[in-house]
Amino acid sequence: MRFIIPIILIFTLASCTSKAKLLENCADKDFLKIWGVVAKSEWNNTTYKYDYLTDEEYLEEVYFMERISQGSLSLQEKLSGINRTGKYEVFYKECERNFTLHPVTFKQKYK
């Protein structure tokens, strides 16, 4: 009996972690789909350059997008709002809503 409770606890924690990872995968994909074009564009391509950002701010945005695509930012860093072009938190919340409404489809799509 002593061994059953820790096993149940491990499975419960593992499912919570996987839900958070699924939500993060969803938010990353959606965020980069909308805002990632900034990082893919050439610096001197004025089509994607935001007029309200200085050169330094623009390069910080490019670096932020690259770090998301490489997976080198923690979820807390992404949610902290350090980017200027779009709020990552908005995408994360939308993924939470989608997970609540359609959990099976969501799990299959973002695993």
Average pLDDT over residues 45-73: 75
Mean pLDDT of the chain, nearest integer: 77
DSSP string, 80-99: TT--SSS-HHHHHHHHHHHH
Strand, helix or coil for residue 6: helix
pLDDT higher than threshold 50 for residue 75:
yes
pLDDT higher than threshold 60 for residue 6:
no
Give the model's pLDDT for residue 9. Answer: 47
pTM for this entry: 0.70
Q: Which of 101, 76, 83 is nearest to 20 (CA)?
A: 76
**In sequence order, which ranges of the chain are alpha helices (DSSP H)?**
4-35, 37-40, 55-70, 75-79, 88-101, 103-110
Task: Please write the tens of the pLDDT for every residue from 18-27.
Answer: 889 999 999 9
